[in-house]
A and B are shown apart, each in its own frame.
Chain A
Amino acid sequence: MMDKKLESRLRRERWLKLSAFLLIHLIGIVLLFTIDNLLVSFVLAFVINYLLAPLVSFFERKSIPRHVAILIPYFTSFLLIGVAVYLILPLVTEQIASLEAQLPTYQRDLLALIGRVETRIKTLVNLHELNATQTANNWLIAKTAELSTILPAIVSQSLTVALLAPFLAYFMLQDGRRISRGLLSMVPNNLFELALNLHHQINDQMGGFIRARFLEAAIVGLVVWLGLAIIGFPYAPLLAIFAALTNLIPYIGPIIGAVPAVLIALISEDGAVYQSMSVNLVVVTSIYFIAQLIDVLFIIPFVVARIVNLHPVTVILVIIIGAQLMGILGMVISIPVASVLKLTLTAVYNHLLDFRA
């Protein structure tokens, strides 16, 4: 059907187009990794984009022009965040101040607890070299000193990301489809339908995945808040926000989220900080357990059905890599990034099988 001369010309042209397409993506990836804060801002912008996209489409369906349809959820979000900050900030500041005031007590009680455990172990095993109290004390002092030096850098980085991410997200919502179309127009004809379908599938799955994860985190946070507030546990809102955020990390996130509350409960029980309140380890653990139970039994099967789970070993590896590269933030974003990669590779593989079957 096609002569040799035309075939070689087409092959050359296809390679040229594909190379240009891949080169643009490569340049984009290099820029993301080399420019400070760009990767984190970009990932957050993607998250904002996926969270707001259904709302933008909803307003667009009401015959509102797209740029206005984007601004409505934007302004509403800013307003809600503003009101929340106005209402919660004094509470959080108060709680942080109280936590700060209680910190030496916690530190003393924690060391006392470790000391007691150490003595018990020594009587049981007769280990004379063990000096856990001193080691823990040194570690706590070192970490507190480290915190004061890295805190300004974290604040400045967070501010840059907080400004850049919504800005990027606005353009993703406004021009994202046009940019995608532009990039797709560079794909050679023989791969065009494959690329288009793949792009659509990834977009669809990522949107569902991110929205479901955030809904899941919000519900877990709400359950923890309610539970802790009912039993009158200290720092309930702070602990709930922490639990909601760490819940975004699959498998180990819920455990990390429960650690501060469990520690406070443990110290309260042992060191008698909150002995007047009827708070104990079992009740606090039960609240976190119930939150996870609701998540696993109701939210995941009915809401997060589209989540692509990674193997536990992969999760641990990916979190370690994320933590090594970008610290706590790396731990939070490592799973969505790994999920994107897994989704992309699976989709490419399935599509190649499908299209060439």
Chain B
Amino acid sequence: MNILWDNIFRKPKKEDDIRTVLKENVLFRDLSERELSFVQDIVHVRRYHSGEAVFRQGEVGVGMYIIVKGRIEIYVTDPNAAQEEFRDIYITQLLDGDFFGELSLVEENGRRTASAVARDETVLIGFFKPDLTEILERNPSTGVKIVFRLAEVLGRRLKETTDKVSELRKTLKELRGPPPIAPYDGQET
């Protein structure tokens, strides 16, 4: 009898996976069980083959993706590269639980700044601007929690980028060496 009841009430493993991934994601961390169910009914689950592009650089972005299972590689395409094999510059690899493309949630017709390609059979959760709008419209308190976390993530990314730029500037300065000293012409400045 127990087995029967267990089978009736147990959610499919796939759904459990989606819920766990959502629950562990920083964007949805503050949500209650009820709010998570609400969000789970709104997001989209997409499957990608190894080598298939999730999105390409330059396309209009509509939202972000969370990796449920698989591997995603991020590339930046340099159209000015002399040889084709050097056109795609590898940036990073993302694994289970990681997310990408979140800037599109707040941008108006913003274009993707990099390409994302699946490297294994990959399952992703797609969370898009229309979905966020729907949550804010139907359940504003849940929407606000997500937007606050999103702002936090974007702020952190901005800080990381600023640190990286400062670091690069410093390296560049070191590589260039000290600025040349102007020859003394006998006049006081």
Q: Which residues on A are within 8 Å of B, measured CB to CB?
A: 1-3, 6, 9-10, 57, 60-61, 177-178, 181, 184-185, 189-190, 192-193, 196-197, 199-200, 354-355, 357
Contact = CB atoms under 8 A, between A and B. Distances in A.
A196 B52 contact: no
Given A193-B128, A196-B62, A196-B130, A57 B51 contact: no
Contacts of B61: 193
Chain B contact surface mostly = mixed
B130 A10 contact: no
Contact of A6 (B44, B51, B54, B128): B51
Chain A contact surface mostly = helix
Interface string B26-56: 0000000000000001101110111111110
B99 interface: no
B48 A355 contact: no
Name which of A9, A178, A197 has the most chain B CB atoms within 10 A of its CB: A197
A52 B68 CA distance: 36
Given A57-B137, A193-B63, A197-B62, A10 B49 contact: yes
B138 A3 contact: no
Nearest to A193: B62
A1 B55 contact: no
A91 to B, nearest CB: 40
Given A2-B51, A355-B60, A192 B126 contact: yes
Contacts of A9: 49
Given A60-B138, A196-B130, A1 B75 contact: yes
12 contacts: A1-B53, A1-B75, A9-B49, A61-B137, A177-B42, A192-B46, A193-B55, A197-B62, A197-B129, A197-B130, A354-B109, A355-B59
Contacts of A190: 53
B167 to A, nearest CB: 29
B88 interface: yes
Given A60-B139, A196-B130, A355-B60, A1 B54 contact: no
Name which of A57, A177, A193 has the most chain B CB atoms within 10 A of its CB: A193
Contacts of B139: 60-61
Interface residues of B, number: 33
A1 B51 contact: yes
Contacts of B50: 6
B66 interface: no
B49 A6 contact: yes
Contacts of A357: 58
Contacts of A355: 59-60
A184 B63 CA distance: 15
Contacts of B129: 197, 200
Contacts of B52: 2, 6, 10, 189
B143 to A, nearest CB: 10
A58 to B, nearest CB: 10
Contacts of B55: 193
B45 to A, nearest CB: 8
Given A196-B62, A200-B130, A61 B117 contact: no
B140 interface: yes
Contacts of A185: 44-45
A151 B44 CA distance: 49
Interface string B135-174: 0011110000000000000000000000000000000000
B59 A193 contact: yes
A133 B137 CA distance: 61
Contacts of A196: 44, 62, 128, 130
B60 A354 contact: yes
Contacts of B88: 1
Contacts of A6: 49-52
Contacts of A1: 51, 53, 75, 88, 117
Contacts of B117: 1
A185 B45 CA distance: 8
A181 B63 CA distance: 16
B176 to A, nearest CB: 35
Contacts of A199: 130
Given A196-B44, A197-B129, 4 more contacts: A185-B45, A189-B48, A189-B52, A354-B60
